[in-house]
Chain A
């Protein structure tokens, strides 16, 4: 009898502890990440990015350069557990939505960072790509989000166009 309850405690107790632990760490990590994202988005507001394919007629741009940024973000044990529950009844997977959002916004920021490093003022034709990556054991999933586009320098009025 004692043996059985010990097995029970190991089989269910440890995963339950991990889920609770992951819930707290995951929430803290996510909240911190979002705060960092918002700060950097404000900082990089000066470099706008557009998903347009043509250069607007009133903009004089030069020095095109392909820029990209990407981020691989992992789920935590709690998100994984919540997702497996959700898979039974269906519906929106809120815990994964925030994961994709973080990865995508982070990728966009890194793309803008790269544009700034290259002396760019604006990024056009922004595209996103998302890939699921298997990592670690037990079929754990992480997502890679990538953002890319063409960075340009703005020519100020009167300057000659190259």
Chain B
């Protein structure tokens, strides 16, 4: 499965478009991590636990998108975008979407 945010893949051509696929997760923060975060809000700096938390859920969103693409019979997802929105204080939705396609090797590169 090729995942890319470009519209084309070098050396391949798109033979079939299968439509938009998406995957999303809604993530709430952890109260215990918040204790560390409020300390960091005083002195400043990176909130490592938040970075990891968001990264993990983004990874999961990508996985869900991929699964949807596989279910459609795609072998690539092109023009992938990410979008994030905070829902309430302490929760965020992470979305990944793109176009599922079938690609095959193109003789003239």
Contacts and interface: CB of A to CB of B under 8 A. Distances in A.
A149 B41 contact: no
Q: What 3 A-B pairs have minimum CB-CB distances, sorted nearest first?
A: A76-B44, A136-B38, A140-B41
B102 to A, nearest CB: 16
Contacts of A72: 46-48, 50-51, 54
B17 interface: no
A61 interface: yes
B46 A137 contact: no
Given A72-B50, A75-B41, A136-B40, A148 B84 contact: no
Interface in B45-75: 45-48, 50-51, 54-55, 58, 62
Chain B, interface size category, equals 35 or more
B40 A64 contact: no
A76 B6 contact: no
Contact of B10 (A29, A140, A161): A161
Secondary structure of the B side of the interface? mixed
Given A68-B82, A71-B51, A26 B41 contact: no
A149 B82 CA distance: 11
Interface residues of A, number: 52
Interface stretch (A38-46, A84-92, A127-135): A127-135
Interface in A14-51: 18, 21-22, 25-26, 29-30, 33
A93 interface: no
